[in-house]
Amino acid sequence: MAKEKRQISDTDKETKSHDIPEIDKDHIRMIASKAKELRIKAGYSYEEFAAHAGINRNTYFRFEKSSTTGYNFTIATFLRVLRGLNISATYFFVLFKQ
């Protein structure tokens, strides 16, 4: 028996979208910006760093792009960035406040 495909209306899409409040986007931008700053201080190009941290190049590009767009990256990506920078989340947020 074939499964019936369900059409998703625009209303369904609106209710299922993940609207991020502007204040959260600001935090995302600041986190991505600080990570980018630390990557540059470490002497990596974004492509070299992505390879070093074991992150897909495009995923890492979107992560850094978050510094201007507020794109919602995953915690898993953020943790890989931290491992690539060889710092803990605690230390990152200490630097973040500076």
Encode the chain (98 residues) as per-residue pLDDT tens digits.
Answer: 555 555 655 544 444 446 888 888 898 999 999 999 999 999 999 999 999 999 999 999 999 999 888 888 999 999 999 999 999 999 999 988 87
Residue 90: per-residue pLDDT = 94
Residue that the structure tokens 């002497």 belong to: 43
Nearest alpha-carbon partner for 25 in 93, 71, 75: 71
Q: In sequence order, what are the residues at sequence separation of 6 or more whose Cβ sits closer than 8 angstroms to the Cβ of residue 15?
A: none
Q: Which two tokens stand for residue 84?
A: 């690539």
Q: Which domain holds residue 33?
A: 21-97
Q: Specify if 10 maps to a domain.
A: no
Instruction: Tell whether 2 is covered by a domain.
Output: no
pLDDT at 23: 87
pLDDT of residue 10: 52
The CATH number that applies at residue 29 is 1.10.260.40
Rounded to whole angstroms, what are the CA distances from 70 to 31, 44, 65, 90?
Answer: 10, 23, 8, 22
Q: Is residue 14 part of a domain?
A: no
Q: Is 9 helix (H, G, I), strand (E, B) or coil?
A: coil
pLDDT of the residue at 54: 96
